[in-house]
Copies of this chain bind each other. A is one copy, B any other.
Protein backbone atom coordinates (compact mmCIF):
# COMPACT_ATOMS: atom_id res chain seq x y z
CA UNK A 1 0.00 0.00 0.00
CA UNK A 2 2.89 2.37 0.81
CA UNK A 3 4.53 1.67 -2.57
CA UNK A 4 1.26 2.49 -4.31
CA UNK A 5 0.64 5.67 -2.34
CA UNK A 6 4.20 6.89 -2.90
CA UNK A 7 4.08 6.27 -6.64
CA UNK A 8 0.76 8.07 -7.04
CA UNK A 9 1.92 10.98 -4.89
CA UNK A 10 5.10 11.53 -6.87
CA UNK A 11 3.40 11.36 -10.30
CA UNK A 12 0.15 13.19 -9.53
CA UNK A 13 0.82 16.23 -11.69
CA UNK A 14 1.89 14.21 -14.72
CA UNK A 15 -1.13 11.85 -14.41
CA UNK A 16 -3.43 14.86 -14.51
CA UNK A 17 -1.66 16.50 -17.44
CA UNK A 18 -1.82 13.26 -19.42
CA UNK A 19 -5.54 12.91 -18.70
CA UNK A 20 -6.10 16.52 -19.83
CA UNK A 21 -4.38 15.73 -23.12
CA UNK A 22 -6.92 12.98 -23.71
CA UNK A 23 -9.86 15.12 -22.61
CA UNK A 24 -8.88 17.96 -24.96
CA UNK A 25 -9.71 15.75 -27.93
CA UNK A 26 -13.47 16.24 -28.61
CA UNK A 27 -14.15 12.60 -29.40
CA UNK A 28 -17.95 12.80 -29.70
CA UNK A 29 -19.01 9.53 -31.27
CA UNK A 30 -22.56 10.68 -32.14
CA UNK A 31 -21.30 13.37 -34.53
CA UNK A 32 -19.65 12.20 -37.75
CA UNK A 33 -17.64 15.42 -38.14
CA UNK A 34 -15.49 14.32 -35.19
CA UNK A 35 -13.95 11.52 -37.23
CA UNK A 36 -10.39 12.92 -36.90
CA UNK A 37 -10.80 13.41 -33.18
CA UNK A 38 -11.95 9.83 -32.72
CA UNK A 39 -8.85 8.58 -34.50
CA UNK A 40 -6.63 10.94 -32.50
CA UNK A 41 -8.05 9.79 -29.14
CA UNK A 42 -7.57 6.14 -30.11
CA UNK A 43 -3.95 6.72 -31.17
CA UNK A 44 -3.20 8.60 -27.96
CA UNK A 45 -4.51 5.68 -25.89
CA UNK A 46 -2.53 3.16 -27.90
CA UNK A 47 0.65 5.16 -27.25
CA UNK A 48 -0.23 5.50 -23.56
CA UNK A 49 -0.60 1.73 -23.24
CA UNK A 50 2.82 1.14 -24.77
CA UNK A 51 4.41 3.81 -22.56
CA UNK A 52 2.72 2.29 -19.50
CA UNK A 53 4.34 -1.07 -20.23
CA UNK A 54 2.06 -3.02 -22.56
CA UNK A 55 3.72 -5.78 -24.61
CA UNK A 56 1.79 -4.58 -27.58
CA UNK A 57 -1.06 -2.19 -28.41
CA UNK A 58 -2.90 -1.33 -31.59
CA UNK A 59 -5.85 0.58 -32.99
CA UNK A 60 -8.13 -2.03 -34.51
CA UNK A 61 -10.72 -0.90 -37.03
CA UNK A 62 -14.37 -1.91 -36.92
CA UNK A 63 -17.34 -0.95 -39.13
CA UNK A 64 -17.60 2.14 -36.91
CA UNK A 65 -15.09 3.89 -34.67
CA UNK A 66 -11.96 1.81 -33.87
CA UNK A 67 -11.19 -0.22 -30.76
CA UNK A 68 -7.88 0.21 -28.94
CA UNK A 69 -6.50 -3.15 -27.87
CA UNK A 70 -3.35 -3.81 -25.84
CA UNK A 71 -2.04 -6.41 -23.42
CA UNK A 72 0.72 -7.54 -21.11
CA UNK A 73 1.06 -11.30 -20.56
CA UNK A 74 3.39 -12.05 -17.67
CA UNK A 75 2.56 -15.66 -16.81
CA UNK A 76 0.07 -18.05 -18.42
CA UNK A 77 -0.69 -19.53 -15.02
CA UNK A 78 -1.88 -16.22 -13.56
CA UNK A 79 -5.44 -14.99 -13.99
CA UNK A 80 -6.13 -12.47 -16.76
CA UNK A 81 -8.02 -9.23 -16.25
CA UNK A 82 -9.64 -7.61 -19.29
CA UNK A 83 -10.11 -3.89 -18.71
CA UNK A 84 -12.96 -2.35 -20.69
CA UNK A 85 -13.49 1.38 -21.13
CA UNK A 86 -14.47 3.88 -23.80
CA UNK A 87 -12.78 6.95 -25.26
CA UNK A 88 -15.90 8.45 -26.83
CA UNK A 89 -17.94 11.09 -25.03
CA UNK A 90 -21.47 12.50 -25.15
CA UNK A 91 -22.34 15.64 -27.17
CA UNK A 92 -21.96 18.87 -25.19
CA UNK A 93 -25.17 20.78 -25.96
CA UNK A 94 -26.47 23.05 -24.49
CA UNK A 95 -23.11 24.80 -24.71
CA UNK A 96 -24.23 28.02 -23.01
CA UNK A 97 -24.80 26.20 -19.73
CA UNK A 98 -21.11 25.25 -19.35
CA UNK A 99 -19.11 27.45 -16.98
CA UNK A 100 -15.90 26.59 -18.84
CA UNK A 101 -15.41 25.18 -22.36
CA UNK A 102 -16.18 21.43 -22.31
CA UNK A 103 -12.94 20.43 -24.00
CA UNK A 104 -10.65 22.73 -22.05
CA UNK A 105 -10.35 20.85 -18.75
CA UNK A 106 -9.79 22.91 -15.65
CA UNK A 107 -9.65 22.18 -11.93
CA UNK A 108 -12.03 24.15 -9.70
CA UNK A 109 -12.95 23.26 -6.11
CA UNK A 110 -10.86 20.12 -6.33
CA UNK A 111 -12.75 18.81 -9.36
CA UNK A 112 -11.82 18.41 -13.01
CA UNK A 113 -14.46 20.12 -15.16
CA UNK A 114 -14.75 18.88 -18.75
CA UNK A 115 -16.77 16.59 -20.99
CA UNK A 116 -15.39 13.12 -20.33
CA UNK A 117 -13.79 14.14 -17.02
CA UNK A 118 -15.64 11.20 -15.45
CA UNK A 119 -17.45 9.39 -18.29
CA UNK A 120 -15.34 7.61 -19.24
CA UNK A 121 -11.98 9.24 -19.92
CA UNK A 122 -11.30 10.04 -16.27
CA UNK A 123 -12.31 6.60 -15.01
CA UNK A 124 -10.62 4.77 -17.86
CA UNK A 125 -7.38 6.68 -17.40
CA UNK A 126 -7.09 5.50 -13.77
CA UNK A 127 -6.65 1.98 -15.20
CA UNK A 128 -3.87 3.08 -17.53
CA UNK A 129 -2.04 4.78 -14.70
CA UNK A 130 -2.60 1.87 -12.28
CA UNK A 131 -1.23 -0.41 -15.00
CA UNK A 132 1.83 1.85 -15.35
CA UNK A 133 2.26 1.86 -11.56
CA UNK A 134 2.17 -1.94 -11.30
CA UNK A 135 4.65 -2.27 -14.15
CA UNK A 136 7.06 0.32 -12.81
CA UNK A 137 6.93 -1.03 -9.25
CA UNK A 138 7.07 -4.68 -10.29
CA UNK A 139 3.77 -5.48 -8.57
CA UNK A 140 1.62 -6.63 -11.48
CA UNK A 141 -0.18 -9.70 -10.14
CA UNK A 142 -2.27 -10.71 -13.18
CA UNK A 143 -2.05 -10.69 -16.93
CA UNK A 144 -3.81 -7.65 -18.34
CA UNK A 145 -5.70 -6.89 -21.52
CA UNK A 146 -7.26 -3.57 -22.50
CA UNK A 147 -10.22 -3.18 -24.84
CA UNK A 148 -11.17 0.48 -25.22
CA UNK A 149 -13.99 1.25 -27.59
CA UNK A 150 -15.23 4.47 -29.21
CA UNK A 151 -18.93 3.78 -29.50
CA UNK A 152 -20.25 3.34 -25.96
CA UNK A 153 -22.22 6.57 -26.03
CA UNK A 154 -24.00 5.51 -29.21
CA UNK A 155 -24.83 2.01 -27.98
CA UNK A 156 -21.70 0.04 -28.97
CA UNK A 157 -23.15 -1.01 -32.34
CA UNK A 158 -19.97 -2.85 -33.42
CA UNK A 159 -18.44 -4.16 -30.22
CA UNK A 160 -20.45 -7.35 -30.04
CA UNK A 161 -19.24 -8.29 -33.51
CA UNK A 162 -15.70 -7.28 -32.51
CA UNK A 163 -15.92 -9.68 -29.55
CA UNK A 164 -17.24 -12.44 -31.80
CA UNK A 165 -14.29 -11.99 -34.18
CA UNK A 166 -11.69 -11.83 -31.41
CA UNK A 167 -12.91 -14.37 -28.87
CA UNK A 168 -9.50 -15.96 -28.51
CA UNK A 169 -7.63 -12.67 -28.23
CA UNK A 170 -10.03 -11.43 -25.55
CA UNK A 171 -9.89 -14.54 -23.35
CA UNK A 172 -9.83 -13.48 -19.70
CA UNK A 173 -11.10 -14.41 -16.26
CA UNK A 174 -12.90 -11.20 -15.53
CA UNK A 175 -13.81 -7.95 -17.24
CA UNK A 176 -13.04 -4.95 -15.07
CA UNK A 177 -14.97 -1.76 -15.79
CA UNK A 178 -14.96 1.68 -14.17
CA UNK A 179 -17.89 3.50 -15.76
CA UNK A 180 -20.32 3.71 -12.84
CA UNK A 181 -20.70 5.61 -9.58
CA UNK A 182 -20.31 5.06 -5.85
CA UNK A 183 -22.73 6.56 -3.33
CA UNK A 184 -20.29 9.09 -1.85
CA UNK A 185 -16.59 9.60 -1.19
CA UNK A 186 -17.12 8.22 2.32
CA UNK A 187 -19.79 5.67 1.34
CA UNK A 188 -18.15 3.43 -1.27
CA UNK A 189 -20.36 1.07 -3.24
CA UNK A 190 -20.21 -1.36 -6.12
CA UNK A 191 -22.83 -1.49 -8.84
CA UNK A 192 -24.32 -4.96 -9.06
CA UNK A 193 -27.28 -4.21 -11.31
CA UNK A 194 -27.70 -2.18 -14.49
CA UNK A 195 -30.80 -1.36 -16.43
CA UNK A 196 -31.16 -2.17 -20.09
CA UNK A 197 -32.10 0.38 -22.73
CA UNK A 198 -34.35 0.83 -25.73
CA UNK A 199 -33.77 4.18 -27.44
CA UNK A 200 -35.96 5.13 -30.40
CA UNK A 201 -36.69 8.12 -32.57
CA UNK A 202 -40.19 9.00 -33.79
CA UNK A 203 -41.03 11.20 -36.76
CA UNK A 204 -44.63 12.24 -37.28
CA UNK A 205 -45.64 13.93 -40.52
CA UNK A 206 -48.90 15.80 -40.94
CA UNK A 207 -49.36 18.07 -43.97
CA UNK A 208 -46.68 17.93 -46.65
CA UNK A 209 -45.36 21.40 -45.78
CA UNK A 210 -45.41 23.88 -42.94
CA UNK A 211 -48.75 25.69 -43.06
CA UNK A 212 -49.98 29.10 -41.92
CA UNK A 213 -51.57 28.38 -38.57
CA UNK A 214 -54.27 30.97 -39.19
CA UNK A 215 -55.42 29.70 -42.55
CA UNK A 216 -55.26 26.02 -41.57
CA UNK A 217 -55.32 25.95 -37.77
CA UNK A 218 -58.23 23.92 -36.46
CA UNK A 219 -58.79 22.07 -39.73
CA UNK A 220 -55.58 20.09 -40.21
CA UNK A 221 -54.01 17.72 -37.68
CA UNK A 222 -50.94 19.39 -36.17
CA UNK A 223 -48.17 16.81 -35.69
CA UNK A 224 -46.70 18.76 -32.74
CA UNK A 225 -50.02 18.59 -30.88
CA UNK A 226 -50.62 15.00 -31.94
CA UNK A 227 -47.15 13.77 -31.01
CA UNK A 228 -47.59 15.44 -27.60
CA UNK A 229 -50.83 13.46 -27.23
CA UNK A 230 -49.10 10.21 -28.14
CA UNK A 231 -46.25 10.87 -25.71
CA UNK A 232 -48.71 11.81 -22.99
CA UNK A 233 -50.56 8.53 -23.48
CA UNK A 234 -47.38 6.46 -23.01
CA UNK A 235 -47.71 6.76 -19.23
CA UNK A 236 -50.83 6.77 -17.08
CA UNK A 237 -51.72 8.76 -13.98
CA UNK A 238 -49.65 6.39 -11.82
CA UNK A 239 -46.65 6.74 -14.11
CA UNK A 240 -47.06 3.20 -15.33
CA UNK A 241 -46.00 2.71 -18.92
CA UNK A 242 -49.05 1.91 -21.06
CA UNK A 243 -47.44 0.14 -24.02
CA UNK A 244 -49.20 -3.24 -24.17
CA UNK A 245 -46.91 -6.05 -23.04
CA UNK A 246 -44.28 -3.68 -21.66
CA UNK A 247 -44.23 -5.23 -18.17
CA UNK A 248 -44.64 -8.85 -19.30
CA UNK A 249 -41.02 -9.81 -18.53
CA UNK A 250 -40.49 -7.63 -15.47
CA UNK A 251 -39.81 -9.79 -12.43
CA UNK A 252 -41.04 -8.24 -9.19
CA UNK A 253 -38.22 -7.94 -6.69
CA UNK A 254 -39.06 -9.68 -3.39
CA UNK A 255 -40.05 -7.75 -0.29
CA UNK A 256 -36.92 -9.02 1.46
CA UNK A 257 -34.65 -7.73 -1.24
CA UNK A 258 -36.44 -4.40 -1.31
CA UNK A 259 -36.02 -4.12 2.45
CA UNK A 260 -32.28 -4.85 2.06
CA UNK A 261 -31.96 -2.18 -0.65
CA UNK A 262 -33.79 0.34 1.50
CA UNK A 263 -30.87 0.23 3.96
CA UNK A 264 -28.59 2.13 1.56
CA UNK A 265 -28.18 5.65 2.88
CA UNK A 266 -30.50 8.03 1.04
CA UNK A 267 -32.07 11.32 2.06
CA UNK A 268 -34.93 12.39 -0.15
CA UNK A 269 -34.66 15.99 1.05
CA UNK A 270 -31.00 16.19 -0.04
CA UNK A 271 -31.84 14.56 -3.36
CA UNK A 272 -34.61 17.08 -4.08
CA UNK A 273 -32.45 19.96 -2.92
CA UNK A 274 -29.55 18.93 -5.17
CA UNK A 275 -31.90 18.95 -8.17
CA UNK A 276 -33.87 22.00 -7.00
CA UNK A 277 -37.22 20.25 -7.26
CA UNK A 278 -40.06 20.38 -4.77
CA UNK A 279 -41.30 16.87 -5.49
CA UNK A 280 -40.01 13.67 -7.03
CA UNK A 281 -42.22 12.06 -9.65
CA UNK A 282 -42.30 8.38 -10.54
CA UNK A 283 -44.10 5.09 -10.57
CA UNK A 284 -46.65 4.77 -7.81
CA UNK A 285 -45.78 2.25 -5.11
CA UNK A 286 -41.97 2.49 -5.38
CA UNK A 287 -39.29 4.55 -3.66
CA UNK A 288 -36.92 6.84 -5.55
CA UNK A 289 -34.08 4.29 -5.46
CA UNK A 290 -36.42 1.52 -6.53
CA UNK A 291 -37.71 3.63 -9.40
CA UNK A 292 -34.20 3.81 -10.87
CA UNK A 293 -32.83 0.52 -9.54
CA UNK A 294 -35.43 -2.15 -10.09
CA UNK A 295 -38.18 -0.57 -12.22
CA UNK A 296 -38.23 0.35 -15.90
CA UNK A 297 -38.85 3.94 -16.98
CA UNK A 298 -39.68 5.99 -20.07
CA UNK A 299 -38.22 9.38 -20.88
CA UNK A 300 -38.38 11.85 -23.73
CA UNK A 301 -34.70 12.63 -24.34
CA UNK A 302 -35.44 15.18 -27.02
CA UNK A 303 -38.40 16.69 -28.83
CA UNK A 304 -38.53 19.24 -31.63
CA UNK A 305 -41.04 20.61 -34.11
CA UNK A 306 -41.96 23.87 -35.82
CA UNK A 307 -40.42 27.23 -35.07
CA UNK A 308 -38.03 27.31 -32.14
CA UNK A 309 -36.27 30.61 -32.75
CA UNK A 310 -36.78 34.05 -31.28
CA UNK A 311 -40.24 35.61 -31.38
CA UNK A 312 -43.47 34.31 -32.84
CA UNK A 313 -43.92 32.42 -36.08
CA UNK A 314 -47.48 31.35 -36.83
CA UNK A 315 -46.69 28.02 -38.36
CA UNK A 316 -48.54 24.74 -38.28
CA UNK A 317 -45.55 22.41 -38.65
CA UNK A 318 -45.36 19.63 -41.17
CA UNK A 319 -43.27 17.37 -38.95
CA UNK A 320 -42.66 16.65 -35.27
CA UNK A 321 -39.83 14.54 -33.86
CA UNK A 322 -39.00 12.94 -30.54
CA UNK A 323 -36.22 10.81 -29.14
CA UNK A 324 -37.73 8.50 -26.54
CA UNK A 325 -35.89 5.95 -24.45
CA UNK A 326 -36.90 3.30 -21.99
CA UNK A 327 -34.69 1.91 -19.22
CA UNK A 328 -35.30 -1.79 -18.78
CA UNK A 329 -34.82 -4.17 -15.90
CA UNK A 330 -32.66 -7.28 -16.40
CA UNK A 331 -35.34 -9.66 -17.63
CA UNK A 332 -36.72 -7.34 -20.29
CA UNK A 333 -35.45 -7.92 -23.83
CA UNK A 334 -34.37 -4.67 -25.48
CA UNK A 335 -35.28 -5.86 -28.98
CA UNK A 336 -38.68 -7.06 -27.84
CA UNK A 337 -39.38 -3.70 -26.17
CA UNK A 338 -38.30 -1.91 -29.37
CA UNK A 339 -40.82 -4.00 -31.28
CA UNK A 340 -43.63 -3.33 -28.78
CA UNK A 341 -42.92 0.41 -28.89
CA UNK A 342 -42.81 0.56 -32.67
CA UNK A 343 -45.97 -1.52 -32.96
CA UNK A 344 -47.76 0.71 -30.45
CA UNK A 345 -46.79 3.89 -32.29
CA UNK A 346 -47.69 2.55 -35.71
CA UNK A 347 -51.05 1.21 -34.55
CA UNK A 348 -51.99 4.40 -32.74
CA UNK A 349 -50.75 6.92 -35.31
CA UNK A 350 -53.44 9.61 -35.42
CA UNK A 351 -55.61 9.81 -38.53
CA UNK A 352 -54.14 12.07 -41.17
CA UNK A 353 -50.53 11.58 -40.02
CA UNK A 354 -47.70 9.32 -41.08
CA UNK A 355 -45.45 7.92 -38.37
CA UNK A 356 -41.93 6.53 -38.70
CA UNK A 357 -40.10 4.97 -35.76
CA UNK A 358 -36.51 3.79 -35.76
CA UNK A 359 -34.46 2.16 -33.06
CA UNK A 360 -31.31 4.17 -32.31
CA UNK A 361 -29.74 1.88 -29.78
CA UNK A 362 -30.35 -0.56 -26.98
CA UNK A 363 -28.99 -3.21 -24.68
CA UNK A 364 -29.85 -5.69 -22.00
CA UNK A 365 -29.83 -5.15 -18.27
CA UNK A 366 -27.35 -7.01 -16.08
CA UNK A 367 -27.02 -8.32 -12.55
CA UNK A 368 -23.61 -9.13 -10.99
CA UNK A 369 -23.42 -11.95 -8.46
CA UNK A 370 -21.89 -10.82 -5.16
CA UNK A 371 -20.64 -14.25 -4.17
CA UNK A 372 -17.88 -14.69 -6.71
CA UNK A 373 -14.11 -13.98 -6.68
CA UNK A 374 -14.09 -10.75 -8.63
CA UNK A 375 -16.77 -9.18 -6.43
CA UNK A 376 -14.88 -10.19 -3.30
CA UNK A 377 -11.62 -8.84 -4.76
CA UNK A 378 -13.25 -5.50 -5.61
CA UNK A 379 -14.93 -5.31 -2.24
CA UNK A 380 -11.66 -6.00 -0.41
CA UNK A 381 -9.68 -3.57 -2.53
CA UNK A 382 -12.17 -0.78 -1.89
CA UNK A 383 -12.39 -1.61 1.81
CA UNK A 384 -8.62 -1.37 2.11
CA UNK A 385 -8.25 1.88 0.18
CA UNK A 386 -11.41 3.69 1.41
CA UNK A 387 -11.45 2.18 4.88
CA UNK A 388 -15.07 1.05 4.52
CA UNK A 389 -16.76 -2.03 3.08
CA UNK A 390 -18.60 -1.03 -0.12
CA UNK A 391 -22.40 -1.44 -0.40
CA UNK A 392 -23.73 -3.42 -3.38
CA UNK A 393 -26.26 -1.25 -5.26
CA UNK A 394 -28.39 -1.41 -8.35
CA UNK A 395 -27.87 1.51 -10.71
CA UNK A 396 -30.43 3.01 -13.05
CA UNK A 397 -27.93 3.44 -15.87
CA UNK A 398 -27.10 1.08 -18.70
CA UNK A 399 -23.86 -0.34 -20.08
CA UNK A 400 -25.50 -2.42 -22.78
CA UNK A 401 -22.29 -4.20 -23.70
CA UNK A 402 -21.94 -5.88 -20.29
CA UNK A 403 -24.61 -8.48 -21.02
CA UNK A 404 -23.17 -8.94 -24.51
CA UNK A 405 -19.76 -9.76 -22.99
CA UNK A 406 -21.31 -12.54 -20.99
CA UNK A 407 -23.23 -13.83 -24.00
CA UNK A 408 -20.40 -13.70 -26.56
CA UNK A 409 -17.22 -14.11 -24.49
CA UNK A 410 -18.67 -16.02 -21.56
CA UNK A 411 -16.93 -13.62 -19.16
CA UNK A 412 -18.56 -11.83 -16.24
CA UNK A 413 -17.93 -8.15 -15.53
CA UNK A 414 -17.22 -6.33 -12.31
CA UNK A 415 -18.35 -2.71 -12.18
CA UNK A 416 -15.85 -0.99 -9.94
CA UNK A 417 -16.88 2.60 -10.60
CA UNK A 418 -15.44 5.64 -8.84
CA UNK A 419 -17.79 8.36 -10.16
CA UNK A 420 -20.30 10.30 -8.08
CA UNK A 421 -23.90 11.19 -8.93
CA UNK A 422 -22.87 14.84 -8.71
CA UNK A 423 -20.37 14.42 -11.57
CA UNK A 424 -23.07 15.59 -14.02
CA UNK A 425 -22.11 13.08 -16.69
CA UNK A 426 -23.99 13.66 -19.98
CA UNK A 427 -24.74 17.20 -18.69
CA UNK A 428 -23.12 20.61 -18.86
CA UNK A 429 -20.29 21.02 -16.32
CA UNK A 430 -19.44 17.33 -16.16
CA UNK A 431 -16.77 16.93 -13.51
CA UNK A 432 -14.70 14.39 -11.62
CA UNK A 433 -13.15 15.00 -8.20
CA UNK A 434 -9.37 14.72 -8.02
CA UNK A 435 -9.91 12.68 -4.85
CA UNK A 436 -11.79 10.00 -6.78
CA UNK A 437 -9.31 10.04 -9.66
CA UNK A 438 -6.28 9.43 -7.43
CA UNK A 439 -8.15 7.08 -5.06
CA UNK A 440 -9.15 5.00 -8.06
CA UNK A 441 -5.53 4.68 -9.18
CA UNK A 442 -4.64 3.46 -5.69
CA UNK A 443 -7.53 0.99 -5.49
CA UNK A 444 -7.06 -0.77 -8.82
CA UNK A 445 -3.67 -2.42 -8.03
CA UNK A 446 -5.27 -3.78 -4.84
CA UNK A 447 -7.99 -5.38 -6.95
CA UNK A 448 -5.35 -7.19 -9.03
CA UNK A 449 -3.62 -8.44 -5.90
CA UNK A 450 -6.85 -9.69 -4.25
CA UNK A 451 -8.11 -11.16 -7.50
CA UNK A 452 -4.85 -13.11 -7.98
CA UNK A 453 -5.16 -14.59 -4.46
CA UNK A 454 -8.85 -15.41 -4.97
CA UNK A 455 -7.98 -17.28 -8.18
CA UNK A 456 -5.04 -19.24 -6.76
Residues of B with C-beta under 8 A to A309: 30-31, 91, 93
B307–A302 contact, CB under 8 A? yes
The yes or no answer to A348 lying at the interface (CB within 8 A) is no
Residue A340 CB within 8 A of the other chain? no
How far apart sit A438 and B396, CA to CA, in the bound complex (Å)? 66
Q: How far does the Cβ of A282 sit from chain B's closest Cβ, in whole Å? A: 5
Q: Is A221 an interface residue (CB 8 A)?
A: yes
Judge whether A351 is part of the interface by a CB distance below 8 angstroms.
yes
Which single member of B154, B221, B303, B427 contacts A303 (CB below 8 Å)? B303
| Given A291-B218, A327-B218, A228:B303 Cβ within 8 A | yes
Q: Is A220 an interface residue (CB 8 A)?
A: yes
Q: Which residues of B contact A325 (CB under 8 A)?
A: 213, 217, 312, 314
Q: Which of B199, B214, B228 touches A314 (beta carbons < 8 Å)?
A: B199
Q: Which residues of B contact A298 (CB under 8 A)?
A: 217-218, 225
Q: How far is the CB of A141 from chain B (nearest CB, A)?
A: 33
List the B residue with the shortest CB-CB distance to A288: B219
Find out whether the CB atom of B317 lies under 8 angstroms from the CB atom of A301.
yes
Instruction: Tell me which residues from 415 to 434 in chain A have a Cβ below 8 Å from any Cβ of chain B.
Output: 421, 424-429
Q: Which residues of B contact A21 (CB under 8 A)?
A: none
Total contacting residues, chain A, CB less than 8 A: 105
Cα of A226 to Cα of B239 in the assembled complex, Å: 11
- Pick from B181, B215, B227, B314: contact of A215, CB under 8 Å: B181
A371 within 8 A of B: no
* Residue A334 at the chain B interface, CB threshold 8 Å: no
Is residue A253 contacting chain B, with contact meaning CB distance below 8 A? no
Give chain B nearest CB distance to A351 CB in angstroms: 4
Q: A300-B305, A307-B301, A315-B301 are in contact. Are A215 and B352 (CB under 8 A)?
A: no
* Contact indicator A312/B301 (Cβ below 8 Å): yes
Q: Does A192 contact B (CB under 8 A)?
A: no
CB pair A426–B314 under 8 Å, yes or no, is: yes
The answer to whether A206 has its CB under 8 Å from any CB of chain B is yes
- Bound: A291/B173 CA distance, A: 69
Say whether, besides A225-B231, A395-B215, A207 and B276 are in contact (CB < 8 Å).
yes
Residues in B with CB closer than 8 Å to A276 are: 207-208
A86 within 8 A of B: no
B residues less than 8 Å from A210 (CB atoms): 94, 97, 426-428
- Asked if A304 and B303 sit within 8 Å, CB to CB, the answer is yes
Residues of B within 8 A of A30 (CB): 309-313
Q: Which residue of B lies closest to A424 (CB)?
A: B209
- Counting from the closest, the 9 A-B pairs by CB-CB distance are A218-B297, A214-B397, A30-B311, A221-B281, A232-B232, A224-B300, A302-B306, A208-B276, A279-B352
Give A residues with C-beta under 8 Å from B: 29-32, 90-91, 93-94, 97, 153-155, 181, 195, 197, 199, 201, 206-222, 224-229, 231-235, 239, 275-283, 288-289, 291-292, 295-317, 320-323, 325, 327, 350-353, 360-361, 395-398, 421, 424-429
Other contacts beyond A153-B313, A222-B299, A225-B234: 12, CB < 8 A: A30-B312, A199-B314, A218-B296, A218-B297, A224-B231, A225-B231, A231-B232, A300-B305, A301-B306, A301-B313, A313-B323, A314-B325
Q: Would you mind naming 29 contact pairs between A and B with Cβ atoms under 8 Å apart?
A: A29-B311, A30-B312, A30-B313, A31-B309, A31-B311, A91-B309, A93-B307, A153-B313, A154-B311, A181-B215, A209-B275, A211-B427, A213-B297, A213-B301, A213-B325, A218-B299, A219-B280, A219-B288, A219-B289, A220-B275, A220-B277, A221-B279, A224-B302, A225-B232, A225-B299, A228-B231, A277-B353, A304-B305, A314-B398
